[in-house]
Amino acid sequence: MARTDDVDPADHTDHIRYVPVGFIFKDRKELAEARVHPSLENGIYRGPIQQAGVPEPAKSIVMSNRPEYPNEDSWETLLTKLYLQSTYIGMGGRGSDDDEEKSTHGGPQTADQSFDHPMNKALQVAQKLGTSVRVTRGAGASEFAPPKGYRYDGLYNVVDSKLEKGPSGFLVCKFYFKRETGQVSPPTDRGPEPETSSRGTRSPKKANLEV
């Protein structure tokens, strides 16, 4: 589908123009302003429903530091190519879920998660359709996370999803991601320090992305 000026760039399953892979944002506010991940609270962004009754795939996720359910990163070799794989725990089951669209990731796990949660369902739709998901890692999210801020790490595909029992005894939705090929190399260490200005992390400038 052709892009139009009245469509929020965050609602495309693609890179955000002028935001290079590896760029570090100071906080969630700057990340949202750049449209990489518009939600200030939710770890999963789906965007508005474009057509009633048509499932909408997730567009982006933010991996945060959640000691109870750590994100797992690993390398896999397939046909001589090296792929970065990651796991991500979905939303729900923490505090009150009266508002399914609102994140409750801050509280302890008090109930089972479900793929019926609209955000978890959106990731499963992305898995089924094979659409890209923008992935950002926050400080402490995994061994590949930056020392501070939030780093945009490029496009990934959801390759599997399972309902598993977590450390707290409640069920969690576990998603398996694989980084798409053809992008600039992902950081393999703690990453560079954020580029700062008088207002914090510098706004992204035009960059040529290898996609």
- 141-174 CB burial, b ≥16 within 10 A, e <16: bbebbbebbbbbbbbbbbeebeeeebeeebbbbb
Q: Answer yes or no: is pLDDT of 195 > 50.
A: no
DSSP 136-181: EEETTSSTTS-SSSEEEEEEEEEEEEEEEE-TTSSEEEEEEEEEPS
Of 133 and 55, the one with more pLDDT: 133
Residue 206's identity, in one-letter code, is K
Q: What is the pLDDT of residue 100?
A: 42
Residue 210 belongs to a domain: no
Structure tokens of 58? 């997730």
Q: Measured between alpha carbons, how far is residue 101 from residues 38, 91, 105, 158 in Å?
A: 13, 10, 12, 21
Residue 108 C-alpha from the chain's centroid: 21
Max mean pLDDT among 47-56, 75-84, 175-184 falls in 175-184
Q: What is the pLDDT of residue 186?
A: 61
Is the pLDDT at 136 greater than 60? The verdict is yes
Q: Is 124 helix (H, G, I), strand (E, B) or coil?
A: helix
DSSP one-letter code for 190: S
Task: Report the pLDDT value the prediction gives residue 53, as an integer from 0 to 100.
Answer: 74
pLDDT greater than 90 at residue 187: no
pTM of the complete model: 0.78
Say yes or no to pLDDT of 75 above 80: no
* CATH number of the domain within which 98 lies: 2.30.280.10
* Phi and psi at residue 163, to the nearest 5°: -100, 115
Q: Is residue 41 part of a domain?
A: yes
Cα distance between residue 39 and residue 8, in whole Å: 13
Q: Does the pLDDT of residue 5 top 70, yes or no?
A: no
Q: List the domain range (segments joined by +) for residue 168.
A: 9-201
**Range among 46-50, 52-56, 94-98, 166-170 rated most confident:** 166-170
Domain-located, residue 207: no
Asked if residue 208 belongs to a domain, the reply is no
Greater confidence, 58 or 140? 58
Is the residue at 2 inside a domain? no
Nearest Cα to 59, choosing from 41, 42, 44? 44
* pLDDT value at residue 185: 73
Residue 163's pLDDT band (boundaries 50, 70, 90)?
very high
Q: Give residue for tokens 């780093």.
A: 151
Render pLDDT for 119-129 as a digit per residue (tens, 0 to 9): 999 999 999 99
Asked whether the predicted pLDDT for residue 24 surpasses 80, the reply is: yes
Number of domains present in the structure of the chain: 1
Predicted local distance difference test score (pLDDT) of residue 82: 57
- The model's confidence at residue 68, banded by pLDDT at 50, 70 and 90, is low
Mean pLDDT of all residues belonging to the chain: 77
